[in-house]
Every structure is written in C-alpha cells, then in structure tokens.
Structure 1
Amino acid sequence: MKTTLLFLSFLLFAFSTTSLLVAADDTLDPVLDSNGDELQAGERYYALPLIWAMGGGLTLSRNINGSLCPLNVVQSPSEIDNGYPLTFTPLDKGDVIRVSSPLDIEFLNIPTYCREPTVWTVEGSFITTNGKGGNAIRNFRIQKYRKTPMAQTYKFVYCVARMACQDIGRSSVNGVRALTLLVEPYEMVFVKVATEAELDCLVKSSWKGLGRDVDGVSFIIGLPFEFML
C-alpha cells in the first residue's frame, strides 16, 4: 500500500512539473515591428514586403468574382504605396500581438462603397472583407517566416480548428495580386503608422537639419517604406 501511494505521489509530482514546464514553453513570442517594438492591439501598421521593388502594401480591390462586394485584399503594385493600415485584435483580448496567436485583422476606418465590415475573412480561397471577427474556430494568425540581417519577417496564416494552418500569399488574378490560401507565403515586415504629431516632428527635424524653414508648412502622412525603416 505504501509503495502504491509513493508511486502515485511521484506521478503527481512529475505531472505537475511537466505542466509547469509546458506552460512556460507555451509563452508565445511577441510579433515585432520594423523598429523591434512589440505589435500592440489596436495600433495601426502597414504590412510591407521586406525588399524594395517587390510591390507595395496591402489594399482593397473589387471582388475577383466580378461582384462589387465584398472586397478582395490585394497587394498594391506600386512600391511607393504603403497601402491601408491594419489593426490586429487578439482573441484572448491581450495588449500584445503574439506569434501564432488567433486574432482578427481589419482595415480600420477605411471608407469603401461596400457598407460592410473591413474585417478579414476567407471566401473560397481568397482573403476578403466582411468578416465577423471573434471566431475561435476559424481565424488568422501571424507566424515567423525567417530571420534576416535586416529584420525578422513574418507571414499570415489561416487556421481552422485543429487542422494545419494554411499559408497566405499572393496570386495574380486578372492583373491583380490577390491574397489567397495555399500559395507561397507573402513575406512581410510590419511598420507602425506614425501619428500626425510624430510625423510632423520627424519631418520638421529633418528639414531643420538641412537648414530649411518649416514654419507654417503642412506635411502629409505616408513616407516611402525605405525612409520609414
């Protein structure tokens, strides 16, 4: 009897220790922006290709199937177009966006002719708007792609329940670079969108360094990617 109790106590201790180790290992790394800062829920970010001349950021286009709505998520063909900013909302309601953590992705406050949410969803194999969000079974995630001398790059994936997650990449359809499932991943970095005050301060500081008079000058948000890095 004593031997049995001793054995059960050992199993309980081993199980508890293993659980603690697993819990520690399950702490997911934060997703980092181009400055090395953690992505924050509710903040706005551009999802841009790592290498210049590989197209611009993510934007919206008329639906590939010919209908007006919902809109397709596509990559801008122009390198100087950062696209529309994205916001990320973790399903666990945390403040930090973490690798492989379920989340909602949305183009925030973007005026469109479709009176529908700009939350991402999947239609067939295409990434579109008009998502509902908050779905614990079907959701998007950000995963690490590779570490480069310039930055850690990432990719979007789409996950359904316990099935393997599918990579999200670009497919050329009718001359449009549409985001779709089951293709080579879209390798990207995240660049935080500067507020008007931050950008105004940045540009004025740069102009003052050049001996320019900047009083009374208005500046437009949207610097080229190479300058923002």
Structure 2
Amino acid sequence: MQFKTSTHKMKTILLLILFSTASLSLGQPSPDAVRDIDGNLVRSGTEYYILPVFRGRGGGVTLAPTRNESCPLDVVQEGFELDDGLPLTFTPVDPKKGVIRESTDLNIIFSASSICIQSNVWMLEEYEGQRIISGRGTAGNPGGETISNWFKIEKYENGYKLVYCPTVCDLCRPVCGDIGVVFAENGSRRLAISDVPFKIKFRKA
C-alpha cells in the first residue's frame, strides 16, 4: 500500500514538471500592437505624424535649433496646434517585424531632410543639465554603443507616451524616464526626459 502511494506521488510530481515545462515553452504573449487614430496597426517603415492627444497645447513633432545656434537640430513640439510637424518612421529592434508593439525597443527617424548634416534619428543626449532628444543618432546595430538611440511606445491613459528605457544591452543600466515637453531658453518646446509625459497619438502621413 505504501509503495502504491509513493508511486502516485511520483506520477503527480512528474505531471507537474511536464506542465511547467510546457508552459515555459509557450513563452510570453506578444505586447499589444500600437494603433493610430483610425484604429489601424502602426507599421514599421510607414510614415506617421506624432501629435498631441489634446489640441490647443501645441502641434506635432519636428526638428528645430534649440541651442542658440543653427545646428544641430533637436526634436521639438510645434508651437501652433495646426502644425502637424514632420513625418517619421518607426523601426523595431527586430527589423523583420512589421507591426510596432508597445514596450518594444525601436528607432524613430524623421523622413524629411534638414539643413544640418545629421541623421534625423532620435537620440537621447545631455545638454545643459537636461536629457534632451536630438536628431543625430544612429539607426540599428542594437547594443551598448547605440544605447541612446532606442525608445519605446507605451499606452498612457487615452493615448500613448514615449519612454526611454532601452533593453538592447544586457550589461547596460540606463536611467529610464518618460519623454515630455520642456521649454528651452530660446522658447522652443524641446522633447526631453520629464516627470510629465507628453501624451500623444499617431496619424498616418
């Protein structure tokens, strides 16, 4: 009788191990897809405008000088609500993925050319005590050398927000933060790390 009970326990343990292994093999579900204002999936390589959820608080996102010199250009919000800014594209860390998903590392790249010699790839950099977004990053090549060029889109209330918290480097420990709008000395609305996130939406260009 004791032998049968032990055998039963062993079978139960084995079944639990097999169930746990099977659960792990299924992996985690994919993050939710990001959607534009029409409810369509936001896709890699397609041009979009980043717009504020609430009109009346400035317009879309563009490039402009913020350092009292003509170059480089930094990422800013348009001052007038009717200005959509410049179109841009998103490229996920896995370029084979066609759909942009929440909380996934990606490059953000303006499609338009500029008067400055720069890539128009978003990049986080230090300037006068702030961590601001410039347009002179490097696309692709995920790792420690490009840690400043990766951003994420996350759901935020009735819209989205942009976040700097890259996971493309296992050994790196970046200081994460939300992207908000911070006024520069010349009056421009810089995108920078802020305690108040910039609540946004996406519209196909």
Q: Is the 8 A contact 2:66 2:188 kept in 1?
A: no
Q: Is the 8 A contact 2:164 2:178 kept in 1?
A: yes
Which residue of the partner structure matches residue 96 of structure 1?
99
Which residue of the partner structure matches residue 178 of structure 2?
167
| 1:58 matched to 2:58 | no
- CA distance in 1 between counterparts of 2:143 and 2:199 reads 25
Deviation (angstroms), 1:55: 0.7
- CA distance in 2 between counterparts of 1:117 and 1:40 reads 21
Deviation (angstroms), 1:160: 3.7
Written as runs of structure 1 = structure 2, the 5 A alignment for 1:111-126 is 111-124=113-126, 125-126=131-132
| 1:76 matched to 2:78 | yes
Give me the CA root mean square deviation: 2.3
Say which of 146, 149, 160 aligns to 1:154: 160
1:90-135, Cα deviation, whole Å (9 max, x unpaired): 1112000001111100001x12121110000011100001111223
1:121-176, Cα deviation, whole Å (9 max, x unpaired): 011100001111223453101000013xxxxx100001144657310000011211
Q: Which stretches in structure 1 are left out of the alignment for 5+ residues?
A: 148-152, 194-229
After the TM superposition, list the runs of 4 or more consecutive aligned residues in structure 1 that deviate by more than 6 angstroms. 1-5
Deviation (angstroms), 1:36: 0.2
Q: How many pairs are equivalent?
A: 184
Matched to 1:89, the amino acid is: T
Which residue of the partner structure matches residue 188 of structure 1?
200
Deviation (angstroms), 1:79: 1.0
Q: Is the 8 A contact 1:170 1:183 kept in 2?
A: no
Q: Is the 8 A contact 2:66 2:184 kept in 1?
A: no
1:31 aligned counterpart, secondary structure: coil
Q: Is the 8 A contact 2:49 2:85 kept in 1?
A: yes
- CA distance in 2 between counterparts of 1:170 and 1:32 reads 22
- CA distance in 2 between counterparts of 1:34 and 1:101 reads 20
- CA distance in 2 between counterparts of 1:10 and 1:164 reads 43
Q: Is the 8 A contact 2:33 2:41 kept in 1?
A: yes
Q: TM-score, normalised by structure 1?
A: 0.73
Q: TM-score, normalised by structure 2?
A: 0.81
- CA distance in 2 between counterparts of 1:163 and 1:72 reads 21
What is the percent sequence identity of the aligned residues?
A: 36
Which residue of the partner structure matches residue 17 of structure 1?
22
2:124 aligned counterpart, secondary structure: strand
1:179 aligned counterpart, secondary structure: strand
2:157 aligned counterpart, secondary structure: strand
Q: Is the 8 A contact 2:180 2:193 kept in 1?
A: yes
Distance 1:14 1:113, change over 3 A: same
- CA distance in 1 between counterparts of 2:166 and 2:49 reads 25
1:24-53, Cα deviation, whole Å (9 max, x unpaired): xx3111100000000011111111111221
Say which of 124, 134, 150 aligns to 1:128: 134
Matched to 1:49, the amino acid is: P
Q: Which stretches in structure 2 are left out of the alignment for 5+ residues?
A: 1-5, 168-172
